[in-house]
A and B are shown apart, each in its own frame.
Chain A
Amino acid sequence: MFNLIGIELFKIITKPRSYLGFLAITLIILLIQFAFYIDGKQYLDFVFQSLQNSFQIEGNVMNGSLICFIILQMLIVQMPLLIALVTGDLVSGEAASGTIRMLLSKPYSRSQILWAKYIAGSIYTFALIAWLGILALGLGLLIFGNGDLVVLKSDELVILRADDVLWRFLTAFFVAFLSLSMVTTFSLMLSCFTDNSITPIVASMSVIIIFTIIGTLDVPLFDKIKPALFTTHMIIWRNLFDNPLPMEQIIQSLSVIVLHIAVFLSIAFWHFNRKDIQN
């Protein structure tokens, strides 16, 4: 099994497309950090405008944690798209290129092969998240320093003390990884159903975009279906920055995420195991 995972990882590593996500993340993060380095004060003055009329705010507000949070906020919407680009291609890409015939006529079972692909895809997802963390948090702390985190929620401003922030970020990265694993399994599932690499990638992206739009629209009709959309639960990482922690909501969303992963994986395995390779 490790052998198979190693092979799948090797394929991902050597595929130029795999680096698009890393490149995009690097560019976006550096751009945001540069923009905040230059104009961050104006941004914060704008945010705190009304508070500054009544209070004097002291302390390092513009710090690495805040920049990381803002980056996470902006990037987490794009991450599923970058991930689907690779994971949506894991099975269908092999079908499209014809290599699936050689792969599936080897002594490994189809389940082993799909597990290896899923694990390799998850490792890629993890690597992308880790890279995001290193750049957004690590580099952010280096450039902007440490400090309390100001969470710009729409209904209130939550200020978390610096020593209370790191564990939240680490947990948030893990939760974001779980959320994105849902995208990994979703695109992998679609990938099992088609023999070209574009369809599952585009389909994954489309579903995510449509669900996110429905989730964002404040229309009463959509309020009822929002809890059923997996994208609704993908932003649960943000609740880790609330005070107090909305544990019930977090556990509920994590359960939904794990359930979705299980369902998507089951469908993928069921179909892949009985699929006739005709191309």
Chain B
Amino acid sequence: MRTLLLLVGITMSVEMTMAQTAKETIARVNQHFAKVKDYAADIAMNFQIPGVNIEPISGKVYYKTPDKFRVKTKGIVFLPKQNPYYALAMLKDTNAYTAILSGNEKTGNSNCAIINVIPNSETDLILGKFWIDNARGVVMKSQLTTKSNGTIMVENRYGNMLTYALPDKIVFTVDMTKFKVPKAVAVDLNSKSKKSNNESNKGTGTIELQFSNYALNKQLKDEVFTQE
């Protein structure tokens, strides 16, 4: 009996410690990110979407806390349905979710803690999984499972703006079915139908956002995010 109580006690204390560790890790992330009220930056976008042949494009990107995000380009762009700061904004409110440290993993050159985040209330997010660099306190990778859009994988690469937890590059990987133009509007009469040349990408679409020339905390107006 004493042994059993001891085991339960140890387990609970380990769980509490892990939860404690997860919250601390997340707190470090939030601490970094709290320095950013808004920013504007140059952005270069690259797309790998099955069934869509689209050239890279560059433009401007704007962010304002908590989760206003806007990309402005002269052309057509594909963006993930959730903006890149959706998860980080969610992490800010530590009472809104339960965070559990579920292990460690090496991601690139970083030793990362893997933290699972489960919302405490009914939200679009079902489960969030974050790979957080233990040393630098930044999110290296996140995997969000949502009700509306399936699973979205977000990978971050950092450079000069590491102190603000602002990545130089974000890569989104989105689950999708290969896009097909409906036959009713398809146009290739007589053409030799091409076989898909991108079999490896079948089923997932990738969007790369390359950031540069960050201008931080310039008190961006809300209109920036609403203007056409």
Contact = CB atoms under 8 A, between A and B. Distances in A.
Contacts of B207: 55
B121 interface: no
Interface string A140-163: 000000011011111111111110
Q: Interface residues of B: mostly helix, strand, loop or mixed? A: loop
Given A53-B176, A155-B193, 18 more contacts: A47-B181, A54-B149, A54-B175, A54-B176, A55-B49, A56-B80, A58-B71, A77-B189, A148-B76, A151-B187, A152-B186, A154-B188, A155-B188, A155-B196, A156-B181, A159-B52, A212-B189, A215-B190
B194 interface: yes
A226 interface: yes
Interface string B67-86: 00001011111111100000
A110 interface: no
A73 B55 CA distance: 23
Contacts of A151: 187
B198 to A, nearest CB: 9
Contact of A238 (B77, B149, B187): B187
Nearest to B172: A55
A273 to B, nearest CB: 35
B181 A56 contact: no
20 contacts: A50-B179, A54-B174, A58-B73, A58-B76, A58-B77, A59-B75, A147-B76, A155-B194, A157-B52, A157-B181, A159-B53, A161-B55, A161-B57, A161-B75, A226-B190, A231-B190, A232-B190, A235-B190, A238-B188, A243-B53
Contacts of A49: 182
A53 B205 CA distance: 12
Interface residues of A, number: 43
A57 B49 CA distance: 12
B190 A51 contact: no
B75 A162 contact: yes
B218 interface: no
A159 B181 contact: no
A60 B205 CA distance: 21
Interface in A197-223: 212, 215-216
B17 interface: no
The size class of the interface chain B forms with chain A is 35 or more
Interface of A: 43, 46-47, 49-51, 53-61, 73, 77, 147-148, 150-162, 164, 212, 215-216, 226, 231-232, 235, 238-239, 243
Nearest 7 CB-CB pairs, A to B? A154-B186, A59-B76, A54-B176, A159-B54, A148-B75, A154-B188, A215-B190
B137 to A, nearest CB: 30
A152 B185 contact: yes
Contacts of A56: 78-81
A73 B78 contact: no
Given A53-B149, A243-B53, A61 B182 contact: no
B194 to A, nearest CB: 5
A26 B172 CA distance: 45
A246 to B, nearest CB: 9
B135 to A, nearest CB: 34
A183 B188 CA distance: 21
Interface string B184-209: 01111111011010000000010100
Contact of A153 (B73, B76, B187): B187
B180 interface: yes
B2 interface: no
Interface string B42-73: 00000001011111010000000000000101
Contact of A152 (B175, B181, B196): B181
A256 B52 CA distance: 31
Nearest to A60: B76
Contact of B186 (A53, A58, A148, A153): A153
A57 B207 CA distance: 12
Contacts of A159: 52-55, 75-76
Nearest to A244: B53
B20 interface: no
B177 interface: yes
B183 interface: yes
B183 to A, nearest CB: 7
A47 B49 contact: no
